[in-house]
Chains A and B, each alone.
Chain A
Amino acid sequence: MTEQALYSVEVDKLTRKFGNFTAVDAISFKVNKGEIFGFLGANGAGKTTAIRMLCGLLSPTSGQARVAGFDVYTEYEAIKQNIGYMSQRFSLYEDLTVRENIQFYGGVYGLSREAIKNKTEELLDFLKLHEQADKLTVSLPLGWKQRLALSTALLHNPDIIFLDEPTSGVDPVSRKNFWLLIYSLAASGKTIFVTTHFMDEAEYCNRVSIMREGRIVELDDPVQLKQRYHADTMQQVFMSAVKEKDV
C-alpha cells in the first residue's frame, strides 16, 4: 500500500472542530517523499491539532487525509506503524544506558531479538553514538539525548518522521548537527515533517507552510517566500505572513 502512494502526506480540506471552535479549517497540502516539510504557525494556530490527526491520534471532523498511503479515518493503526514521532518532551529512561533504551523501544515496537540487535548497531552507527552506548542516559548532554530520542523514533523503519519542536533548548552546535542528520535521513528517502519556532531552521526546509487561525496562509519553498515578502530571513516572512492576514 505504501509503495503505491505518490505522496507521503496528502491532505484535502482537513477540518477539526471542538464545539463551535474550528481548530483546523479546511487545510490542504501534499508532502513529497523524501521532502523536509516545515509546518509553521503561531501558538494556537492549529498545528498540534493537525499533527494529531495526521498521526492517527485524533479523528477529523471533515476532509480527507492519507499518511504513508493510509486513511486517517479508518487505517490509523497502520499509520502509527509507519510513522516515527519525536518531540521536545522526549521520553527516555534515564537510568538505562543508551543501548538499553534502544533495545527497550525495539521491544515496544515488537521487533524480533535479531532485528533489535541489528537495528541497535545500525542506529549507534548512524547517530555516532557508539562511544556513548554503554553510558547511563542521565549522564548524556542534552544534544546526545536528543539524538538518542531520534534513534528510538527510527527503530521500526518508518517512512515518515514527525518532529515536533525537536531542537528546543539545545545548544547551537548540537542543533546544527541534528539538522545534518535530518538531511541524511531525507536523502535516504525518509519524509520529514517538522515543526519549529526557530525561524533559521525554517530556512533548512525544502518547503514550509505557515498556519494562522486554523488555515494555511502560505505554502512554498523558503527562497520563493522570501522573494514574495521582500524579506532577507524566514523570521521576517513569518512575522509578515502571520500579521498580514490578521485583519
Chain B
Amino acid sequence: MVKKSMKQPTIEIKHLVKTYGMVTAVRDVSFTVGEGEIFGLIGPDGAGKTSIIRILVSLLHADSGEALVQGKSVDGAIAYVRAHVGYMPQRFSLYPDLTVEENIDFFGDLFAVPASLQKTRKEKLYDFSKLGPFKKRRAGALSGGMKQKLALSCMLMHEPKVVVLDEPTFGVDPVSREEFWNILKQLSANGTSILVTTAYMDEARLCDRVGLIFEGSLLAVDTPEHLVNTFPTPIYRLSGSAPHVLYEALAQTPLKNRISLFGDGVHILDTQGEGPEALRRQISDIDAPWDALEPIAAGMEDLFLSLMKE
C-alpha cells in the first residue's frame, strides 16, 4: 500500500490542532507520507488543508500536536525544513515582470544552488515542464496552467526530496491539470515525497493515498481504490435527459435524504438494502421522465458526500 513502508515516513502529522479565535480549523489530524509517495489531502476550501500545510512548512504554529519532516520536529528544525522542503503556496508568488528564465534563476540563487549545477537543472526542468519555448516570456503573461508549472519548476531548483503543494491545480483546466500531475508522477518515481492538496475529487485517483478532510477533521485515509471499493452502500443511478428535474421530483419523496445530483443523473443510496425493484416502485410515480435505473460503482464524490453527511 505504502511504497517502501519499512522506512520511516518522510512526513508525519501527529494529532494536530489549530484554532483561530472561536474557529477550530484543524481537529486532531494525523497522517503520514512515505518516501516517494503522493499523498493527497482532499477537501473543499475552509476544510483546514492550508493550515496543516502551513504548520508543516513552519509558517504557522499548531495549538497542539506535532509535524515532523524526515523524523525532525518542524518546530525545532525550522532552518532544516526550509532548506529541505519544497513548498508551493496557493497564491502565485513569482515575479510577473521577470521572464520564465529569470524567475528560475532567481530561485536557484535564493536556494544557493551552485552556478555549475543551475544550468543542467534548468534544462531538465524545461524538459519536464515543456516551458523551454517560453523561457523569454514574462511570467505575468503566462496562462494559468503554465504559471503553475513555472512555480513548480522554481521550487524544484534545489531538488528537495520533500515537496508540499497547496492547491497547485486551482483554476487550472483539465488538460493542464493532467500535465501537472504527470510531472508529479515523475517526481514521485524518482523518490520525491509529495503532499498535495486539492478541491478536485477526481484528482484523488492520481494519488497513492488520500486523506479526505472536511471542517477540520480527517474523514478517511486510505488508497483511493480501497476507499471506493469498500464503500458500504449500494448506489443506483437514475438517468434521464434532465437530471435536475429528476432530483427535484425525488426531493419530494421519502428518498429525499438519500439522493445526490450528478452530471450523469441522480445517485440514490440504497441504505436499506432494498434492491432495484423496491427502488423502482418508489420512483414509479414521480412526475419526471427518466431513462434507466442501474447499479453503479461508488466514486470519490459519492464517498465524500456520504462522509460529509455523517
Q: Which residues of A contact B (CB under 8 A)?
A: 41-45, 88, 141-142, 165, 168-174, 176, 179-180, 183, 197-204, 222-223, 232-235, 238-239, 242-243
Interface string of B177-203 (1 = CB under 8 A from A): 110000000000000000000011110
Is there contact, CB below 8 Å, between A179 and B175?
no
- Tally of contacts, chain A with chain B, CB under 8 A: 96
B175 contacts which chain A residues (CB < 8 A)?
42, 238-239, 242-243
B170 contacts which chain A residues (CB < 8 A)?
168-169
Is there contact, CB below 8 Å, between A235 and B202?
yes
Closest CB in chain A relative to B69 CB, distance in Å: 27
B305 contacts which chain A residues (CB < 8 A)?
172-173
B46 contacts which chain A residues (CB < 8 A)?
141-142
Is there contact, CB below 8 Å, between A204 and B263?
yes
In the bound complex, how far is the Cα of B44 from the Cα of A141, in angstroms?
Answer: 11
B174 contacts which chain A residues (CB < 8 A)?
197, 199, 235, 238-239
Which listed segment binds A: B105-113, B120-128, B139-147?
A: B139-147
Is there contact, CB below 8 Å, between A197 and B173?
yes
Is there contact, CB below 8 Å, between B244 and A179?
yes
Closest CB in chain A relative to B294 CB, distance in Å: 13
Question: Given A43-B172, A197-B172, A233 and B145 touching (CB < 8 A)?
Answer: no
Question: Given A180-B261, A203-B263, A233-B264, A44 and B146 touching (CB < 8 A)?
Answer: yes
Is there contact, CB below 8 Å, between B145 and A42?
yes
Question: Given A171-B44, A173-B308, A43 and B201 touching (CB < 8 A)?
Answer: no
In the bound complex, how far is the Cα of B264 from the Cα of A232, in angstroms?
Answer: 9
Residue among A43, A222, A242 with the highest chain B CB neighbour number at 10 A: A43
B173 contacts which chain A residues (CB < 8 A)?
41-43, 45, 197, 242
Question: Given A141-B46, A176-B260, A233-B264, A43 and B176 touching (CB < 8 A)?
Answer: yes
**B133 contacts chain A at the CB level, 8 A cutoff:** no
**B301 contacts chain A at the CB level, 8 A cutoff:** yes
Interface string of B254-283 (1 = CB under 8 A from A): 000000111110000000000000000000
**B171 contacts chain A at the CB level, 8 A cutoff:** yes
Is there contact, CB below 8 Å, between B214 and A171?
yes
Is there contact, CB below 8 Å, between A200 and B304?
no
Besides A174-B44, A204-B243, A243-B175, 9 new A-B residue pairs in contact (Cβ under 8 A), listed by A number: A41-B173, A43-B171, A43-B172, A44-B146, A168-B199, A169-B45, A171-B308, A172-B304, A197-B172
Residue among B143, B244, B263, B308 with the highest chain A CB neighbour number at 10 A: B263
**CB proximity to A under 8 Å, residues B233-266:** 241, 243-244, 247-248, 260-264
B304 contacts which chain A residues (CB < 8 A)?
172
Closest CB in chain B relative to A188 CB, distance in Å: 14
Is there contact, CB below 8 Å, between B171 and A180?
no
Chain B: CB-nearest residue to A204: B263
**CB proximity to A under 8 Å, residues B52-108:** none
Closest CB in chain B relative to A198 CB, distance in Å: 8
Q: Which of A44, A171, A180, A204 interacts with B143 by CB under 8 Å? A: A44
A198 contacts which chain B residues (CB < 8 A)?
200
Closest CB in chain A relative to B213 CB, distance in Å: 11
In the bound complex, how far is the Cα of B144 from the Cα of A34, in angstroms?
Answer: 31
A43 contacts which chain B residues (CB < 8 A)?
143-146, 171-173, 176
Is there contact, CB below 8 Å, between A234 and B171?
no
Chain A: CB-nearest residue to B242: A183
Is there contact, CB below 8 Å, between B244 and A234?
no
Q: Which of A183, A200, A222, A235 interacts with B262 by CB under 8 Å? A: A200
In the bound complex, how far is the Cα of B145 from the Cα of A216, in angstroms?
Answer: 20
In the bound complex, how far is the Cα of B46 from the Cα of A232, in angstroms?
Answer: 32
A88 contacts which chain B residues (CB < 8 A)?
171
Question: Given A169-B44, A170-B45, A173-B308, A42 and B176 touching (CB < 8 A)?
Answer: yes
